[in-house]
Structure 1
Amino acid sequence: MNYLDLILLIKIAGTGLFVGLPLLLIPTPQLVRLLGIEGAEAAMPLIRLYGWAVLALLVGYSFGLSWVVGDTFPLGVVTMGLVSNAGATVLLVITGAWRKSIALTVLLGCIALAFAFALIDQPSVMQSL
């Protein structure tokens, strides 16, 4: 296992368990209550669609794992991770939503930094831990 394996595994497991699957599987009344967003019930098709989009990203991250096992740096997957996580962090900060989701904002920012480091120092992240 190397640094990049670890980043990808954490991203896949954490996002799948705490974002993708809940958005798809939790019944609407409980999900509306959990999200605490006014009008969430009317937006439920978009919320479920976001859950599918998240799972699609996780498929991409999974392909990155297979390339790492083959000792190939997955440039596209790492770039996707950087854009996705940095973009989410920037949106949370710009909109002020970070105030309600400090832990999420910090987590996404740290994952973005990890992907940025992976792009900058590809040989290091491919070495065994």
Structure 2
Amino acid sequence: MFTTAALMFWQRPNMVIELTPALERLLTSSDLGEDIPAAQLRPGMAACYIRFGEAMRQAVVLPVETGVHRIQGAYVFASTYNGKRAISIVAIYAAGRDEPLGISSLDFVIEDEQESLLSVIRRQCGGR
């Protein structure tokens, strides 16, 4: 999957996004509200890589089964699935200091652009 994500990134119109420390602090101290529609989740290009700095690395929690890890960033892909807009997020993390990179992914199919983005995320993540 790691190789596939990198190939998908380079084969599409793409951009790399590096968050400033101030924006990272703002994002890590904010909550996603029910009033934000799914229509707002739109990457700037068909493929984006968001490089995380220290604040985001501390704030983003990956699945427990990955053990000790530090997120490096995430690929975000825009596509369609059965005629509906789809977003795939592939998180890239280092499993440990001397260990190889790993991945964790989520796919969202937007059924209703006006539905709360938080509801879409909760449904995909099993209500967590």
TM-score, normalised via structure 2 length: 0.24
TM-score, normalised via structure 1 length: 0.24
More strand, by proportion: 2
Q: Greater relative contact order (Cα 8 A, min sep 6): structure 1 or 2?
A: 1
More helix, by proportion: 1
The structure with the largest alpha-carbon Rg is 1
